[in-house]
Amino acid sequence: MIDAALLAAAAREAGLAPVSAVVERIDRPGERAELDPELELYPASMIKVPIAVAALARVEAGALTLGQDVAVDERNLTANDAPSPMRAGYRATLGELIDLMLSRSDNVATNQLIDLLGREAITRHCRSIGLTRTAVRRKLSGSLPLIADPEANGRNAHPAGDAAALFAALDARRLPGALVVLGALARQYWTGKLPLGLRPGDRFAHKTGDTDEVSHDGGILTLADGRRYVVVLYTGATSPDTDPRFGTWMARVRAGLGENS
C-alpha cells in the first residue's frame, strides 16, 4: 500500500529534493499518495501533454484535422535533443506535430502548435477540463539564448497535481483524442528516468521534462497483473546524476506496490 511516507522515504533514498509527487491507482479508486502536488516547479516539457489535449479537442470540434498541412515557421526554430525533421518550411501534418511533441519532446513542433492554437486558448481549455493551475504563457527553448517570443506573458505552469489529473482523465478516455496521446506516450523516446526502476512486464506511457532548474517524469504505469497507476515525479534536483536517481525513487515506490494485490 502506498502512502506519503513511502514517497518521502523514496525521495530521501534517491537524494531528490525538492519533490512534488503523486501516485494513484486508477483501475479502482481509493489508493493515492502525494507529496506537495501543487508545488510551483517550472513544468518544462510536461506542458506538452496539455497542449496536445487542447489540439485534439479542437480536432473533435471540427476546427482542425489531424491530416491538415502546417508549415514550420522559422521563428519557432530552437534546439532539439532527439533527431527531428523540424526545419523552416518543413510541412508537417497536425498529427505529426502532436506525435513528435509527445514521443520525442520536439520543441519546434511544440512552438508551432502554440502558434496554431494560441496560448490563451490552450490555457482556457485546460481550465475548462479542471486543470486550474495550468497555463501556457511562453514558447519553449531547447538551448540558450532563449527563443525570441514577443508574446510571452510569464512562465508556463503545470504542477504535478494537474499532470496526475490529466493522465487519469486520459486513461479513463474522458478527453477527445485520448488514444492518440496515450499511443504517443507509449512510444516515448526518453526512457532514462522512472522506467529505470520498473520491473519486467511493467509498461509506462509517459512524458519527461528537463531544464537546468528542474527534472520531471510522469505517466500511466500498467503492471504485469493489470493494475494501473498514475505516477508523477517533479523535482528541482539538477545534479548530473539526477536521471538515475529517478530510477532509485521508482524502484522503492514500485516495491511498495507489491505484486498481484
Domain boundaries, the chain: 1-41+160-261, 43-158
Q: For the segment 135-153, what is each residue's pLDDT rounded down to a tens digit? A: 999 999 998 889 999 999 9
Superfamily name with CATH number, domain 43-158: DD-peptidase/beta-lactamase superfamily (3.40.710.10)
Run of H or E including 151: none
Q: What is the pTM of this model?
A: 0.96
Distance of alpha carbon 186 from alpha carbon 41, whole angstroms: 25
Sort strands 203-210 and 69-71 into parallel, antiparallel or unpaired: unpaired
Distance of alpha carbon 56 from alpha carbon 66, whole angstroms: 8
Query: Fold identical between 1-41+160-261 and 43-158?
Result: yes
Give the cell for residue 77. Answer: 526554430
Half-sphere exposure of 38 (CA within 13 A, CB side): 3
Give the cell for residue 138. Answer: 511562453
Q: For the segment 48-99, what is each residue's pLDDT rounded down to a tens digit? A: 999 999 999 999 999 999 999 999 999 999 999 999 999 999 999 999 999 9
CATH ID of 1-41+160-261, from 3.30.70.2740, 3.20.20.70, 3.40.710.10, 3.30.70.3290: 3.40.710.10
Distance of alpha carbon 92 from alpha carbon 113, whole angstroms: 11
Q: For the segment 186-235, what is each residue's pLDDT rounded down to a tens digit? A: 999 999 999 999 999 999 999 999 999 999 999 999 999 999 999 999 99
Q: Would you give the DSSP letter of residue 150?
A: T
Distance of alpha carbon 97 from alpha carbon 93, whole angstroms: 6
